[in-house]
A and B are shown apart, each in its own frame.
Chain A
Amino acid sequence: GDSVTQMEGPVTLSEEAFLTINCTYTATGYPSLFWYVQYPGEGLQLLLKATKADDKGSNKGFEATYRKETTSFHLEKGSVQVSDSAVYFCALSDPWDYNTDKLIFGTGTRLQVFP
């Protein structure tokens, strides 16, 4: 079945450091890929998405590129802030599977940014 694998956390960085959170996926079809962020005490917020190969999603300085050849969707940010501290979830769904609307989540990666 479809699955998502994320790097183990926590990721601990100093402010203004470069961030990469790795995400790879396994899917039988052509999935759409998402990054969601969950701040402490809150629900999930969509951070960015990509629906086909070579698409780049971007939002709030974060970027991720849909790489079909490596089945990856790594999240990057050039300069992190303390306010970026949160848990980041990579997820996929198969738009051609009309039997389900399931989002397949990775296990989540906690990011801690210190001043």
Chain B
Amino acid sequence: DTEVTQTPKHLVMGMTNKKSLKCEQHMGHRAMYWYKQKAKKPPELMFVYSYEKLSINESVPSRFSPECPNSSLLNLHLHALQPEDSALYLCASSQEREIGNQPQHFGDGTRLSIL
């Protein structure tokens, strides 16, 4: 069983809808990540939060809006998405960056389909 929980597992939405993806971890990790993964491709980093502050934004379009309400939760708010945004969205977490390099722990993802 994964220690990073993502909801929902599947989401179908129209291009005018607003929805949110949720991610939760209770491992005491202070870094959390959003990735986008297209079929047969490796994950692509979107955002990194460190100590609840956004530290990396990989030039992601503004129709994706991340939020970190507390150290255990990470949201990704979606609005006016395009069909090419259909993908598997993965959340990950890791211990504090300053400890040195720690592996990232991934959730099972939300499979998003844009109609």
Number of interface residues of A (CB under 8 A): 24
Report yes or no: A101 in contact with B42, Cβ–Cβ below 8 A: no
> With a CB–CB cut-off of 8 A, which chain B residues contact A73?
none
In the complex the two chains form, is B108's CB within 8 Å of A107's CB? no
Report Cα–Cα, A2/B79, bound state, in Å: 33
Interface centre among A43, A103, A108 (most CB of B within 10 A): A43
Question: Which chain B residues numbered 1 to 33 have a C-beta less than 8 Å away from chain A?
Answer: 2, 4, 6, 31, 33
Q: A42-B108, A43-B109, A106-B42 are in contact. Are A100 and B56 (CB under 8 A)?
A: yes
Closest B residue to A108 using CB positions: B42
A34 CA / B104 CA spacing, docked (Å): 10
- Do B2 and A43 touch across chains, with their CB atoms under 8 A apart? yes
Tell me whether A103 and B45 are in contact (CB under 8 A). yes
Q: How many residues of B contact A (CB 8 A)?
A: 28
Partner of A101, one of B4, B40, B97, B109: B97
Q: Which of B42, B92, B98, B107 has the most CB of A within 10 A?
A: B42
Q: With A and B bound together, what is the CA distance between A23 and B107 in angstroms?
A: 24
Q: Mark A21-40, 1 if CB is under 8 A from B, else 0.
A: 00000000000101010000
Contact among B31, B42, B90, B97 with A107 in the assembled complex (CB-CB below 8 Å): B42
Which chain B residue shows the least CB distance to A95? B101
A51 in contact (CB, < 8 A)? yes
CA distance A34 to B106 in the complex (A): 14
For the complex of A and B, the 8 pairs showing the least CB-CB separation, nearest first, are: A95-B101, A105-B42, A43-B106, A32-B101, A44-B106, A43-B108, A46-B103, A95-B100
